[in-house]
Structure 1
C-alpha cells in the first residue's frame, strides 16, 4: 500500500527541486505570480480540465470507465476542484487548501480496493498538462522566467498538499473498514459459540460479510492468561480471535490443514493453550469446551504444564476420567479399599505396581522394566496384591475399574516408588 510519504516522494520527483517546507516559502512561490494571472487563467480552466481528464482516462485503466457516469462525474469534480483552488491560490496566496474533496477521493480509492498508485499517476498527468499549458501561455500571461519557474514549483507544492489530503482519506477509510471487519469477525465468533447453535444460514450470512470462508471443520482453542513479557499471538488471518473475552479463545478453521499445526504452534509461542478436536461448525462451542477442560487439567498439573499448544486429542482418556471426578473418587474408595490400611508409602508402591501390571502385562520381568526395579521386587509386590485383592484381580470389570482409578491417582500426583 502506498503511504503518504510515498505519495510526497512521487510528486516531488516531478519538480526540479524539493517543495519548500515552511509556510513563508510556500506563500512566496504563490505570491511571485501577479494576481491578475488568475483572472486570465479562469476562462480556460474548462479546456484544461478536458485535457487532464482525457489524459487520465486514456492512460490509467483504473479510471477508464466511460460507461460509469457517476465515476466520470467524480473524476471531473476532482479535476475541476484542483484547478479552481490552484487559480484561487494564485489570486490569494494565503488561502488555505480546501481538502474535503481530496480526502473523499482518497476514501474512494480505499473503498474501490486500490492503493494510491493510480491516484499518484493521475496527479502526475494532471501536473504535466497544467505545466504544459502554462508554458504555452507564459508570454500571453506576461510571466517572467522566474515567475514561471516559481509557478511551476508551486504546482508540485500543491500536489504534495493534495497527496496529503488524499492519503488522510485513504487511511481513514482503510481504518474504518478494518474496524468494521473486525467487529463482524467478533460477532461471527460469538455466533459460532452460541448455545443452542445458530442456524447454518445465519452463520453463512455473517461469515460472508466478515470475509470469512466457511470451513469444513473448526477447532476451539482455549488460551491461558498471558504472562508478562510475552508477545501477543501471531495468528493466520482466517483464525477468529476472542482475546478480549473473559476466557480468551480462538476458532481455527480446518485445523488439520497442511502446515496449520506448525503455524499455530509458532504463533502461540509464549502462551499456554489447548486445542479441542476438529468438529463441524455447529459444534464449535463443544470443541472449545473440551479445550478449556484440557487447559484446566494442565493448570492443575494433571497434564503437561509446559508452555505451548496441548492437544485435546492426545488426552481424551484423561478427559473422560476427569469429566466427573466425584464419581471417580467414589469408585476409588471402593476399588482401592484393600490398600487403605497400609502406610502411604506402601500404598503408592503397590498402586504403581498394580497399574503397570494392568497396563503392560502380567509378566514380572516386563513390569520390572517399566518400573526400573528388580523383578524379584515386583514378584513380592504382586504376591501382596493377590493376598489383598484375592479373586477380584481375575474379574475383567474390576481390572477395568482399577485402571481407571489408578490412572486418575497417578495423574494428580503420587509419591515416587
Structure 2
C-alpha cells in the first residue's frame, strides 16, 4: 500500500495541476457514462426503477472522480479512505461479495481513461503526461479497492460477531431451566439464522484447546462452565458419522435425542455420562460416548448413595468373605442373573470350568437361600452387581 501511494504521488506530481481545473466541469458527464456502463454490464447494479439507489451510485462515482482530481491539484492532501470503506460496508450489507464492486471500479477507470484520451489534444496534454495520468488512475483504483475491501471485511466481521452473539444467547435460552417461552426461542432462532429442529441432543465436552470441526447449524458453547454443543436432529441421515468425525480427538458424551424444549435434560444426561467416563465407569475411548448405548448404567449411577444403600443390603451375605472371594462370587452371580441359570453358559461367559461355576453357585445358594428365588430380589441384585462391576472397572489403572 505504501509503495502504491508513493507511485501515485510521483505520477500526480508529473501531471500539471491545472488539468484538474479543466476536468471538473466534465464530472457530471463522465459520471453518467460510468453509471450507464456499470448498470449495463453488471446485473447487481441494474436498478433503473430505484431512484434512491441510483442516487447513491451517482454520489459514489462523483466522490471517486472528485477525490481523484483533488489529489492532482494537491498531491499532499491527506488520503481519507472512509467514504470508500463505507461503500465496502454497503456491499456487505447488500449480501454481495466484492467482485461486482471491483468490476464496477475497473469499468469506471476504463471510461475515465477513454474520456481522457478523447480530450488530451484540446487540453494540451503531452503523451507522457497522458500516460502518467492514466497510470495514476489505476494506482488510485487500487487504493479505492483496498479501502472498500477493508470496509467490507469490517462489516462482515461485525455481522459474524453479532450472529455469533445471537447464537450464544439462543443456546442460553434453549438450556435454561425452566425452559424459555417457545415464542422467545422462535424469534431469536430466526434472528440467529437457525432453523428450529424437531429434536436436539446436548453434547458435553471436556475443556480442550481449539474448536471442533462441525457444521454451522450446531450451536457451540465452548465458553460455558461446562463446554457443550447442541446438535439439531442428531439421528438424521449422516448425523452420527458427522459427529464422530467432527469430535475426533475430543472426549465427549452425546445425550439422547429429545424434543427442543427438553434440550437441557439431554445435556444433563450427557454431562453425567461424561463424568462417569472420566471416572472410567463408562468407556472413554476414541469417538464420542453416546448415552443411548449406556442408559442402564446411567440410571444405576443416577443416585449412587441409594445404590450404595441397596448394595449394602443385598450384598450383605458376602460381607464376611475375603475380598477375593467376594469378587469371584459377585462375578458369578451377575453372570448367572444375566445369562441364565445353566452352569455351562455361565462358565463360557466367565472363561472358567463348569465345575467351578457349580461350586460357586452352591456357595451362593447357601449364602442367599430362598432369596435367589424372589424375582424382585434378583432384579435388585443385578442392579447393585452391575454398579459394582462398573465401579471396579473404573477404578482399575488404565
For residues 140 and 6 of structure 2, the distance between their equivalents in structure 1, rounded to whole angstroms, comes to: 14
| 1:356 shift after superposition | 0.3
Tell me what 1:147 maps to: 129
Give 2:117's match in structure 1, choosing from 131, 135, 153. 135
Q: Does 1:359 align with 2:338?
A: yes
Q: How far off its partner does 1:231 sit? A: 4.2
Question: Aligned equivalents of 2:339 and 2:86: distance in 1?
Answer: 74
Quick one: distance in 2 between partners of 1:45 and 1:208?
45
Compare 351-360 and 65-74 and name the one that shifted more.
Answer: 65-74
1:179-207 CA-partner distances (Å, limit 9, x unpaired):
00000000000000011111111111000
Q: Give the deviation of 1:233 after TM superposition.
A: 1.1
Corresponding position of 1:324: 303
Trace 1:148-297 onto structure 2 (pairs within 5 A).
148-226=130-208, 231-297=210-276
Q: 397-406 vs 25-34, which deviates more?
A: 25-34
The 8 Å contact of residues 175 and 264 in structure 2, kept in 1 or not, is answered as yes
Q: 1:52 aligns with which of 34, 47, 61?
A: 34
User: For residues 300 and 24 of structure 1, do their structure 2 counterparts lie closer, same or farther at Cα, with a shift above 3 Å needed?
Assistant: closer
**CA–CA distance in structure 1, aligned partners of residues 262 and 274 of structure 2:** 19
3-state SS of 1:222 partner: strand
The one-character-per-residue Cα deviations of 1:31-70 (angstroms, maximum 9, x if unpaired) are 1111111111111111111111111111111111122222
Tell me which residue corresponds to 1:15: none
Indicate how the Cα distance of structure 1 residues 22 and 75 shifts in structure 2: closer, same or farther if over 3 A, else same. Answer: closer
Q: Output one character per residue of 1:97-146: Cα deviation in whole Å (capped at 9) or x when no partner.
A: 33222111100111111000100110111011100110000001110001
Specify the alignment match of 2:62 in structure 1: 80
Change (3 A) 1:214 1:22: closer
TM-score by length of 1: 0.92
RMSD, aligned α-carbons: 1.5
2:45 alignment partner, one of 50, 54, 63: 63
Aligned to 1:26: 8
State which drifts further: 115-124 or 230-239.
230-239
**C-alpha distance in 1 between matches for 2:56 and 2:369:** 93
Report whether the alignment pairs 1:93 with 2:75: yes
4+ residue stretches of structure 1 with deviation over 6 A?
none
For the residues of structure 1 that align with 2:361 and 2:84, how far apart are their CA atoms? 88
Distance 2:287 2:89 in 1: 42
CA offsets per residue over residues 314-337 of structure 1, 9 Å max, x none?
A: 110111111111111111111111
Q: Where does structure 1 lack aligned partners over 5 or more consecutive residues?
A: 1-7, 9-19
Number of residue pairs the alignment of both structures matches: 395
For 1:69 and 1:154, locate their aligned partners in 2 and report how far apart those are by CA, in whole Å: 32
- Report whether the alignment pairs 1:394 with 2:376: no
- Secondary structure at the residue paired with 1:218? strand
Distance 1:344 1:299 in 2: 25
2:318 to 334, 339, 354: 339
CA contact (8 A) 1:189 1:242 kept: yes
In the TM superposition, residue 348 of structure 1 has moved relative to its aligned partner by 0.5
* Alignment match, 1:312: 291
Deviation at 1:307, TM superposition (A): 4.2
Q: Secondary structure at the match of 2:95?
A: coil
5 Å-filtered alignment, 1:367-406, equals 367-406=346-385
C-alpha deviation, 1:23, in angstroms: 4.3
Verify the 8 A CA contact 1:273 1:307 in the aligned structure 2.
Answer: no
**Conserved? CA contact 2:199–2:232, under 8 Å:** yes
3-state SS of 1:219 partner: strand
Give the Cα separation in 1 of the matches to 2:326 and 2:309.
18
In the other structure, the counterpart of 2:392 is: 413
Please tell me whether the aligned partners of residues 364 and 378 of structure 1 are also in contact (alpha carbons under 8 angstroms): yes
Please say which of residues 61-70 and 152-161 is displaced more in the overlay: 61-70
